[in-house]
A and B are shown apart, each in its own frame.
Chain A
Amino acid sequence: MSRKRVRYIWIPLIIVLIAIPAGFFYVDWSKGGSGAGLYSRKWVPEAVFAYWNPDDFYRSVDSVMGEFEGEQCISCHEAVTPGIVKDWRASRHSRPGDGKDTVYCSACHGNNHQELHLPTPEVCGGCHSTQHAQFVDEKRFGFPSHALAMERALDAEHFVDKPKAEVTACLNCHSVASKCDSCHTRHRFNAAEARRPEACITCHSGPPHPDDETYFASAHGQLYLAEGERWDWSKPLRKGNYKAPTCAYCHMDQGRHQVADKSMWKFGIKQINPLTSGNEVKRKQWVALCSDCHEEDWSRQQLAGLDAERRQAWSKLYAAEGILKQLRADGLLYPAAGERPPYPNDWLDSIRPRARIGFFEGQASAFYNVSPIERDYFEMWYFDNLGAYKGAAHGDAGFVLRGHEAMDQALVAIEAAAAKLRRLGEMEKKAQARRPDPAALWLSGEYTEFNRERN
């Protein structure tokens, strides 16, 4: 073997051997900052983040000294915060029955008042091991997911970029990954409460995920609204126990805590191939579940209807994306990338600015500091389209119709806006007038500057 050939083998090998540990080291290092997640070194948390992400941020109060046992906590907090004590007294923790020990405050928060902790899922899992194992197991199904929700929020470009007080609401909902009381509210921690659809809607509502509206308007939801008050919510989520399905009945059937394990269409946020072998397995699981009440054929048809609705939606969305990409290619976006604050957190963008269009280019974080036509598409994709998907998935035909009508209108508006941009662009070229510089209007302003300096 020639010396040259030896070199061809060794040099790449050495580079790989250095690069891999360096990569691991870099990721590990990047998580060691004042914030949390991949970009933890770039931001400082708000104090309230301690309540949404206790594992990373909660520090005990140090105003009270000493170690306390259960009854002592109760007797003091009965005066300090009577509500939580009343709640606890009404919970199963205070009277577990079957000769089990009472679960006092200290079991979850610790004894030392200067080293108190807020219970994470691991703490609850100390006793509720089945549910906790299921909850953690959900991670392997990827996005969308309850268990991965916090990571997803912390690693989002716009979360890192924006002032932290502005994006507090993100962690408020995404805290479903970091604590159990998003669904089983403290200090009652009731399974029956979490089975009710209302338990989900503080987070599952609003423009990108109108789960509440679409479910309540569906035949399932209408039955629930009419009769749900009289159902026995202590029963497990199994065939025959409920006359109509609720959020949890379908998404947590049998009470399993892998909430999104059957997710095929990924929230409607990107196009997927519904016919992969993996999705066929999920489809069978859905059909089996629907068959608790419906015929198998009927269920298959409903799911095929959802496939068709998605195809239709994506043909509209891709048409809009195509228009935007053509404008970008022709240099007609106004302001263009580079004439507005850069894409958050991306050093490459400051060297070679580029507008983000569509899911795979990261447009989910590009809803501000962009040109109006990009924002129009963001709303078409994130509000109209996701709403239509939720309508289709939850059986609210009216919402599907309205969503598709809104997408049609948005597409027409985007076409008109694009034509205008073209006309103006060409006019400016023809008249050899200098294109007015948008930077003055787009790069300054009280909030824009605050955002740049204080993320």
Chain B
Amino acid sequence: MKRLLAILLFGFSVGAMAGAQAPEGEFQNSACLECHQQQDAELVAAWRDSVHATAEKAATCVACHGNNHDKAASRARRDATCIDCHGGQKAPAVHSYTTSKHGILTRLEQKDWDWEQALASANYRAPGCAYCHMHSGNHDVGTAIRTWRPEQATGSDEREQVQDTMRAVCQDCHAPRYITNLFDNGERMLNIGRMKVREAAVLMAQARGSYQPAGLEDAEKQFLKMKTQHLKNVYLGIAHQSPDYQWWHGQAALDGDLIRIRGAIDQARRLLK
């Protein structure tokens, strides 16, 4: 029975494609995949490889495109589609972008843009989330702009690949030298952030060897904040070009963390004496 249903469904979808008209009606994710597998297997495979598909709470076709074909593509291209799942307006990943020049221009002008256009060739005056992260409609989200990992340095073999993939996106609008300079600067900036975290890690390792855990609670808390929030802010600030995240939420906050970690260790030391 199931097989019969599948054949029928397949027949229906092929028929629909032959008419070159997107079928009307509401669909579930499995139906989208079944039909689009025939149309553009590469796109579906890219999605299956992506973190959108592998994540515990997967971003399915329907999650971004809605459950019908009416404006399905243009709906998914808008920032609002991404922002809901990525933590909302106040999440650093979102806020660092929405306060950047790219995000501001998109916010101000998006209502006048033709969102039916492809996410390429500077079809949009400023890039929305999808323009960079799903450039040219690449459904393996994040491969167009390969994700940097803030806690580890980019290997020299990876470096070229990262720069090349990014360049392919940025050069729609920016000059080659500008892209290279910003990229190199960003890498150095991030490395300085990593350096601060490593400095703290050494201090923590020494302290753990000398004092009881109860005396180091504040230091541990601060160290965690450093690694999980402030270093990430530097990285988000660089990636989304937000000076505020690079500095106040990032580097300047890391400076404060180092002071507080040292202060907490000092106290454990003086009380022990």
Which residues of A are in contact with B by a Cβ distance under 8 Å? 46-48, 50-51, 61, 80-84, 86-87, 90, 163, 165-170, 172-173, 185, 188, 193, 196, 198-199, 201-203, 205-208, 212, 229, 334-335, 367-372, 375, 379, 420, 424, 428, 433, 436, 438, 441-442, 445-448, 450
Contacts and interface: CB of A to CB of B under 8 A. Distances in A.
B76 interface: no
Contact of A436 (B100, B172, B182, B270): B270
Interface of B: 99-101, 104-105, 107-108, 111, 121-122, 125, 171-175, 177-178, 181-182, 184-185, 188-189, 191-192, 195-196, 198-199, 202-203, 237, 242-244, 246-249, 251-252, 255-256, 258-260, 262-263, 265-267, 269-271, 273
A229 B258 CA distance: 44
30 contacts: A46-B181, A46-B188, A47-B185, A61-B177, A82-B121, A83-B173, A83-B174, A163-B192, A165-B192, A169-B243, A172-B243, A188-B125, A196-B108, A198-B104, A199-B108, A202-B242, A202-B243, A206-B244, A368-B259, A371-B263, A372-B259, A375-B256, A375-B260, A433-B273, A436-B266, A436-B270, A436-B273, A445-B258, A446-B195, A447-B196
A166 to B, nearest CB: 5
A48 B181 contact: yes
A308 to B, nearest CB: 28
A441 B266 contact: yes
B270 A424 contact: yes
Which 3 pairs of residues, A with B, have the shortest CB-CB distance?
Answer: A83-B173, A83-B122, A372-B263
A142 to B, nearest CB: 23
B259 A445 contact: no
Q: B199, B252, B256 — which one has the most chain A CB atoms within 10 A of its CB?
A: B252
B26 to A, nearest CB: 31
Contact of B105 (A166, A185, A420): A185
Contacts of A450: 192, 195
Nearest to B101: A202
Contacts of A445: 199, 202-203, 258
Contacts of B244: 169, 202-203, 205-206
Contact of A166 (B189, B258, B273): B189
Contacts of A448: 199
A275 B153 CA distance: 55
B172 A82 contact: yes
Contacts of B243: 169-170, 172-173, 202-203
A334 B125 CA distance: 53
A433 to B, nearest CB: 6
A218 to B, nearest CB: 18
B184 A47 contact: yes
A375 B189 contact: no
Nearest to A82: B122
Nearest to A228: B108
A234 B45 CA distance: 47
Contacts of B196: 447
Contact of A86 (B125, B177, B191, B203): B125
A170 B259 CA distance: 22
Contacts of B111: 229
Contacts of A334: 266, 270
Given A48-B181, A367-B252, 16 more contacts: A47-B184, A51-B181, A80-B175, A86-B122, A165-B188, A165-B191, A168-B246, A185-B105, A202-B244, A207-B248, A335-B266, A375-B256, A441-B265, A445-B203, A446-B198, A446-B199
Contacts of A442: 262
A196 B271 CA distance: 55
Contacts of B256: 367-368, 375, 379
Q: A163, A165, A170, A208 — which one has the most chain B CB atoms within 10 A of its CB?
A: A165
Contact of B108 (A163, A193, A367): A193
A163 B191 CA distance: 11
Contacts of A198: 104, 107-108
Nearest to B185: A48
Contacts of B267: 420, 424
A3 to B, nearest CB: 60
A169 B247 CA distance: 6
A165 B273 contact: no
Nearest to A434: B273
B185 A208 contact: no
Contacts of A86: 122, 125
Nearest to A441: B262
A445 B191 CA distance: 15
A165 B258 contact: no
Contacts of A438: 266
B99 A47 contact: no
A208 B237 CA distance: 17
A97 to B, nearest CB: 21
Contact of B251 (A166, A172, A206): A166
Contact of B104 (A48, A173, A201): A201
B173 A428 contact: no
B71 to A, nearest CB: 20
A447 B249 contact: no
